[in-house]
Structure 1
Amino acid sequence: MTLQPNPDALNPSAHDRSRAATLVCATYAELGIRSALGRSTAFLPVDLDFLHDNAIEALPSDAVVFELVLDAASDGSTLDRCRTLRERHYSLALGNYAGLDERSRPLLTMLDVIKIDISQYDDAMLNDLAGPLTKLPLKLLGAATK
Structure 2
Amino acid sequence: MSAEDGEVIIGEDTVVMEQALVRGRATHPARIGAAVMIGPHVHVNGSHVEDEAFIATGAALFPGSRVGAGAEVRINGVVQVNTALPAGAVVPIGWVAVGDPASILPPDRHEEIWAVQRELGFVETVYGVSSDAPMRAIMRAQSEYYGAHAADVVIDG
TM-score range normalised by the length of the shorter chain: under 0.3
Between Structure 1 and Structure 2, the one with more strand by share is 2
The structure having more radius of gyration, on CA atoms, is: 1
Between Structure 1 and Structure 2, the one with more helix by share is 1
Q: Which of 1 and 2 has higher RCO (CA within 8 Å, sep 6+)? A: 1
| TM-score calculated relative to the size of structure 2 | 0.22
| TM-score calculated relative to the size of structure 1 | 0.23
